[in-house]
Amino acid sequence: MKFTKIQGAGNDFIVIDDRAGSFSLAESEIRRLCHRHFGIGADGLILLQNTPIADFRMRIFNSDGKETEGCGNGLRCLGRFLLELGLSLQKTRIAMHEKIVEISAIGEQIGVEMGEPQNLQLHIETEQGTLHFVDTGVPHVVHFVNELETAPLHQLGPFWRRHPLFFPKGTNVNLAKVEKGEIRVRTFERGVEGETLACGTGACAVAIIAHTLYSMPSPIAISFPGGHLEIQIDGRRLTMIGPAVKVFDGIIDFF
């Protein structure tokens, strides 16, 4: 089984061409592939598939082996994979769970039209502070802090990720600090169950909440430990632009 490892701002994925529909690995096997020491190492695994409702379908599995609703950085990495296959990437329609998005090459970067966020809720009071919630394809909470580097994401992430307010699906957790010209963010990802170097849907969540709360103008620059993303806001429609870089190709032959 051939694969390509691609990373977007440090969020890395194993990407497989499954247009033939032959992929059949179990959760435990996906966990092994994504393991940083005993496998290839990745935040998730992405399948490129055919579908009658769009140009392609993206299925994505987190590193825990479970399929999730979507992933912004994963969409950009899928876009890079399409380019690696020699396919066009201009408003290419990708079916992802229950929505269809468009991805395009923008210079060396990849842009994703993420559509409109859903279920925006501001000023949710919890035992550990005030949260803001929005669904940008997957659920996210955002908590603004004064000191980002020293904030205890390793404690707050698991606490809010499984909080009863977000039962049964749980949520991703973003700590954000607004600075002049950008917002710096750290994200605890559901399914990875730890901090990742970047999160595309998290960047969209932080951007629309900051735009709503603080009237931050579009485009909004989002800085993660792994790199930078730009979120454009037109009304309530979001477009994410950022890097997606091939790391290496390989063959899976140990199953």
For residue 2, give the 3-state DSSP assignment. Answer: strand
- Residue 108 neighbours by CB under 8 Å, 6+ apart: 243
Q: Which residues are catalytic?
A: 71, 199
How far, in Å, CA of 158 to CA of 172, rounded? Answer: 9
d(CA 192, CA 178): 25
Q: Following CA atoms 61, 140, 114, 103 in sequence, which dihedral angle do they give, to the nearest 10 degrees?
A: -40
**Do the beta carbons of residue 209 and residue 140 sit within 8 Å?**
no
Are the beta carbons of 124 and 214 closer than 8 angstroms? no
Nearest to 155 by CA among 181, 129, 180: 129
Q: Give the end-to-end CA distance of the chain in Å, rounded to a whole number.
A: 10
Q: Among candidates 254, 252, 200, 195, which has minimal Cα distance to 231? A: 200
